[in-house]
C-alpha cells in the first residue's frame, strides 16, 4: 500500500510539472510554425536532450536490460550501438545538414521536393499509421505499469495519461514536448548514478558479478547473439529495424533536425545524443540485466524473451521502497515522452502534408494555429479509442515497421543517387509496404510465420530495394539526374543567346532572396512562407533556365544557390526592402522588442528566424540561450544601425 501511495504522489507531481510546462510554452507559440516546429529556434544542447529522450523510450527500460540477460553485456551493448551510432549519429552526420538546409518541415514534404506529390501522399498516410501505432503501444505499456503498481483499472490509467499529455501538448505544441523531453531525460540522468549506487550496495562490485556469473559478460540464457542472421534478434536486423527504419524513416527525427537553429546544431545534437545514450543510458541499463542474472540464476538462467523483459521490475523489488518508486517514474516519463513526440510527428504531417497542402495552401502560419491544435486533439482522441479496441495497439505497432521502412530507403537513394526517379520511389514504397503488410497479417493470423526464416522488415526492404533498382533505369530521371546535366545551363538549357534574363512574380522573389543573401532552400522557403516543394519548383525553373547555380549536385550543397552571370536587372527597391526589414529586426534586438514583431506586427516566426540567422551569420548579432534564442547586437551591428548601411 505504501509503495502505491508513494508512486501516486510522485506521479502526480510529475504530471503537474508537465502541465505547467505546457502553460509556460504557450507563451512562445504565436503561429503554426511555433506550434509544430518551435519556430526553428531549438539550440544544440536542448536538442541533444530531445533526441536522446526519444531514444530513451519506455520500451528501452524493459528491453535493454532484458537483452543483457539473453545475450550478455557486451553483445547486448553492441546491439544497442546499432541504434545510437548507426541510427542517431549517422543520421546527424549524413542527413541532418540536408534536412536543415532543404527547408522541408516534414519527411513527406521533402519527398515532394525530391520526387512528386503522389509519393508525398503515400508516405504521409503511412507515417500517420506508423506513428499512431507507436503512440498507442507506448500509452498502453505505460498504463500496464501504472495499473500493476497502483492497482487502478486500465481504462482509468489510460485516460489519465491521455488527458495529461493532450493538455500540455494542446497548449504548447512542439515547445511543450521539448520541455517534456528535457524533464524526462533529466530524470533519467539523475536515475543513472542512483542505479549504479543501488547495484553496488545491494549486490556488489563488478568482481562480484564475474564471480557469480563469469560468462554473463559475453553470453546469456539465449546463447550468443547472432551477427548476420536474417531473423530477429541479430545485429543485422537491429541495424535495419532500429537504425534504418526507426530513425532514418521516422518523421519525428526529421522534426528534431528541422527545428534546430542551424544545421550545425542539428548535426551535432544527434552525434552527442548518440554518445549520451550509449554511455549514460544503455550501459547502466545493461548492467541491471547483468547483475540480476548473476543475483537470480534460478530465475534468469533459462529466461526467454518474456521473462527477460521483467528484469527491471525484479531490480525494483530488490531495492528500498523510496528508490523503487522514484525509479518507476523513469519508464513512465520515458513512455510519455516518446508517445507525445510520436503524436506531434503524426500531427505535423496531417496539418502540413494533408490539410495545408491539399485544402488550404495559401493559409498563413497564424491562420493554421487553431487547426493544428484541433488536429492534435482529434488524433489523440482517435488513438485513445484504439487503445480499448482488442489488439488495436498491438496491430498498429506491428504495422509500424511496414510503413516506416520504405521512406528510409527513399531518403538514402534520394539524397545519394540523383538518377533515382519518382516512378521508382513510388513503386518501391507501395510494393515494400504491401509485402510487409501482407506478411504481417499472415503472421498475426497464424497462417504463415515468415519470422522463422527472415524478419518481415528485411523481406520488405529487399523488395523495395530491388524495385527501385529495376524501375530507375527504365524511367525518366529528373533533369539534374541526366548524364548531360553538369549543373550549368548551356545554350540548349538557358537563354540561346546567353542574354541577361528578367523575372517577375514568385520567380523574381526567389532571385531577390538569393541576391539579398538568403541562399538556401530553407531560407527561401521561410522568407516567402511557402511549401518547400513549391519553392524548389521555382528553383528548378531558374536552374534549368541558367539563372542560378547549385553549389553541388548532391548533399547540402544541392539546396544552396548563387546567381549566375545571366541574371541581372534586379530592382533595387526589392533588395532594399529586404535590407530594410533586416535593419528593423536588428533595431528590435537592440531595443529588446523582438517579441513585438511576431505578436503585434504579424511577422511569421520562420521568416523572423531566417532574418535572425543571417544577422548572426554576418556578425551583427550574437546568439545564445538554452531555451529560446537570446540575441545581443555586436559592435558591427551597432555601427550598421548608426550608419544606416545595408546588411
| pLDDT for res 12 | 85
pLDDT confidence tier of residue 2, bands split at 50, 70 and 90: low
Among 569, 582, 595, 586, CA closest to 622: 586
Determine the pLDDT at residue 471.
97
The reported pLDDT for the residue numbered 496 is 42
Top pLDDT among 62 and 170 is at 170
Mean pLDDT score of the chain, rounded to an integer? Answer: 86
Report the alpha-carbon distance of residue 418 to residue 108 in Å, rounded. 18
Residue 117 pLDDT: 94
pLDDT > 50? residue 415: yes
133/111 Cα distance (integer angstroms)? 22
Distances (CA, A) of 570 to 112, 500, 508, 543: 30, 11, 8, 17
Which of the given ranges, 93-107, 366-380, 595-609, has the highest pLDDT on average? 93-107
Whole-number pLDDT of residue 574: 59
User: Given this model, what pLDDT does residue 260 score?
Assistant: 94
Overall average pLDDT of the 331-358 stretch:
88
The confidence band for 644, taking pLDDT boundaries of 50, 70 and 90, is low
Rounded (10°) CA dihedral 341, 343, 348, 350: 160
Give residue 389's pLDDT.
66
- The answer to whether the beta carbons of residues 156 and 436 sit under 8 Å apart is no
Q: Tell me which of 152-166, 197-211, 519-533, 536-550 is least confident.
A: 152-166
DSSP letter, residue 551: S
Give 494-513 pLDDT, tens digit per residue.
444 455 566 768 898 999 89
Least confident range from 4-8, 101-105, 571-575: namely 571-575
In the chain, domain spans: 2-111+138-400, 572-643
CATH fold of 572-643, please? Arc Repressor Mutant, subunit A (1.10.10)
Please provide the DSSP assignment of 201-229 as one string: HHT--HHHHHHH-TTTTT-BTTBSPPSS-
As a whole number, mean pLDDT of residues 472-477 equals: 95
DSSP one-letter string for 14-64: HHHHHHHHHHHHHTT--SHHHHHHGGG-B-HHHHHHHHHHHHS-HHHHHHH
Query: Would you call 8 exposed, middle or buried from its count of C-beta atoms within 10 A (0-12, 13-18, 19+)?
Result: middle
d(CA 140, CA 402): 21
Q: Residue length, the chain? A: 647
Burial status of residue 446 (CB atoms within 10 A of its CB: 0-12, 13-18, 19 or more): exposed
Average pLDDT value for residue range 10-29: 86
The percentage of residues in the chain with a pLDDT greater than 70, rounded to a whole number, is 91
List the single range of 174-178, 364-368, 458-462 with lowest mean pLDDT.
Answer: 364-368
Asked if residues 31 and 179 have their Cβ atoms less than 8 Å apart, the reply is no
Per DSSP, the three-state class of 520 is strand
In this prediction, residue 108 carries a pLDDT of 95
Mean pLDDT within 254-264: 94
pLDDT band at 276; cut points 50, 70, 90: very high
pLDDT at 645: 53
Whole-number pLDDT of residue 573: 60
| Least confident piece of the model among 139-148, 278-287, 369-378, 537-546 | 139-148
**Residue of 317 and 378 predicted with greater confidence:** 378
Residue ranges of E strands in 532-601? 548-550, 561-563
pLDDT value at position 568?
56
Q: In this predicted model, which residue has the larger pLDDT, 8 or 480?
A: 480
User: Over pLDDT 90: what percentage of the chain?
Assistant: 44
- In sequence order, what E strands does 364-501 have? none
Q: Does the structure show a pLDDT above 50 at 483?
A: yes
Average the pLDDT over 457-462 and give the result: 91
Q: Report the range of poorest mean pLDDT among 191-195, 306-310, 351-355, 454-458.
A: 306-310
**Does 528 have pLDDT greater than 70?**
yes
- pLDDT band of residue 614 (cuts 50, 70, 90) is very high
Amino acid at each position: 500500500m505504501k509503495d502505491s501511495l508513494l508512486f501516486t504522489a510522485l506521479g502526480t507531481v510529475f504530471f503537474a510539472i508537465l502541465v505547467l510546462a505546457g502553460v509556460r510554452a504557450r507563451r512562445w507559440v504565436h503561429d503554426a510554425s511555433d506550434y509544430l516546429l518551435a519556430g526553428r529556434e531549438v539550440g544544440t544542447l536542448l536538442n541533444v536532450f530531445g533526441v536522446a529522450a526519444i531514444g530513451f523510450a519506455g520500451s528501452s527500460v524493459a528491453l535493454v536490460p532484458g537483452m543483457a540477460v539473453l545475450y550478455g553485456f557486451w553483445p547486448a551493448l553492441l546491439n544497442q550501438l546499432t541504434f545510437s551510432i548507426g541510427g542517431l549519429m549517422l543520421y546527424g552526420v549524413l542527413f541532418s545538414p540536408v534536412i536543415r538546409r532543404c527547408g522541408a518541415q516534414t519527411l513527406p514534404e521533402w519527398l515532394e521536393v525530391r520526387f512528386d506529390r503522389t509519393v508525398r501522399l503515400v508516405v504521409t498516410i503511412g507515417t500517420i499509421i506508423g506513428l499512431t501505432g507507436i503512440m498507442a503501444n507506448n500509452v498502453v505499456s505505460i498504463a500496464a505499469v501504472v495499473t500493476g503498481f497502483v492497482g487502478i483499472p486500465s481504462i482509468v490509467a489510460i485516460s489519465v495519461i491521455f488527458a495529461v499529455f493532450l493538455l500540455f501538448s494542446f497548449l504548447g505544441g512542439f515547445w511543450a514536448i521539448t520541455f517534456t523531453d528535457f524533464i524526462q531525460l533529466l530524470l533519467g540522468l539523475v536515475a543513472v548514478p542512483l542505479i549504479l549506487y543501488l547495484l553496488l550496495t545491494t549486490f556488489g562490485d563488478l568482481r562480484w558479478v564475474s564471480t557469480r556469473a563469469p560468462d554473463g559478460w559475453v553470453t546469456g540464457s539465449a546463447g550468443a547473439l547472432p551477427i548476420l542472421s536474417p531473423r530477429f534478434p541479430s545485429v543485422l536486423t537491429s541495424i535495419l529495424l532500429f537504425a534504418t527504419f526507426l530513425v532514418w524513416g521516422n518523421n519525428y527525427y526529421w522534426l528534431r533536425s528541422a527545428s534546430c537553429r542551424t544545421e550545425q546544431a542539428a548535426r551535432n545534437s544527434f552525434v552527442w545524443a548518440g554518445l549520451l545514450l550509449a554511455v549514460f543510458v544503455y550501459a547502466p541499463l545493461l548492467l541491471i540485466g547483468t547483475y540480476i542474472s548473476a543475483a537470480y540464476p534460478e530465475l534468469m538462467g533459462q529466461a526467454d524473451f518474456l521473462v527477460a523483459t521483467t528484469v527491471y521490475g525484479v531490480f525494483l523489488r530488490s531495492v528500498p521502497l523510496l528508490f523503487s518508486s522514484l525509479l518507476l517514474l523513469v519508464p513512465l516519463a520515458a513512455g510519455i515522452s516518446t508517445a507525445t513526440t510520436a503524436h506531434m510527428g503524426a500531427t505535423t504531417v496531417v496539418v502540413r502534408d494533408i490539410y495545408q497542402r491539399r485544402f488550404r495552401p495559401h493559409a498563413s502560419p497564424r491562420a493554421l494555429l487553431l487547426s493544428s491544435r484541433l488536429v492534435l486533439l482529434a488524433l489523440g482522441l482517435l488513438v485513445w479509442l484504439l487503445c480499448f479496441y482488442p489488439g488495436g495497439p498491438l496491430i498498429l505497432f506491428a504495422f509500424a515497421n511496414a510503413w516506416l521502412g520504405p521512406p528510409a530507403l527513399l531518403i538514402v537513394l534520394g539524397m545519394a543517387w540523383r538518377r533515382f526517379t519518382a516512378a521508382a520511389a513510388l513503386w518501391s514504397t507501395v510494393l515494400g509496404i504491401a509485402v510487409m503488410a501482407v506478411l504481417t497479417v499472415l503472421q498475426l493470423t497464424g497462417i504463415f510465420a515468415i519470422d522463422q526464416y527472415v524478419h518481415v522488415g528485411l523481406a520488405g526492404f529487399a523488395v523495395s530495394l530491388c524495385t527501385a533498382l529495376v524501375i530507375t533505369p527504365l524511367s525518366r530521371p529528373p533533369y539534374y539526374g541526366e548524364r548531360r546535366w553538369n549543373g550549368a545551363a548551356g545554350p540548349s538549357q538557358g537563354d540561346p543567346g546567353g542574354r541577361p534574363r528578367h523575372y517577375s512574380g514568385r520567380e523574381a522573389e526567389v532571385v531577390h532572396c538569393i541576391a539579398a543573401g538568403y541562399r538556401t532552400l530553407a531560407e527561401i522557403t521561410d522568407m516567402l512562407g511557402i511549401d518547400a516543394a513549391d519553392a524548389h519548383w521555382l528553383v528548378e525553373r531558374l536552374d534549368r533556365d541558367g539563372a542560378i547555380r547549385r553549389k553541388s549536385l548532391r548533399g547540402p550543397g544541392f539546396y544552396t544557390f548563387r546567381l549566375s552571370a545571366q541574371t541581372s536587372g534586379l530592382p533595387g527597391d526589392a533588395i532594399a526592402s529586404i535590407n530594410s526589414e533586416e535593419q528593423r529586426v536588428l533595431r528590435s534586438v537592440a531595443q529588446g522588442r523582438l517579441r513585438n514583431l511576431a505578436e503585434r506586427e504579424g511577422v511569421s516566426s520562420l521568416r523572423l528566424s531566417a532574418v535572425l540567422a543571417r544577422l548572426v551569420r554576418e556578425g551583427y548579432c550574437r546568439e545564445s540561450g538554452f531555451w529560446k534564442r537570446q540575441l545581443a547586437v555586436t559592435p558591427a551591428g551597432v555601427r550598421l544601425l548608426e550608419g544606416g548601411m545595408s546588411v
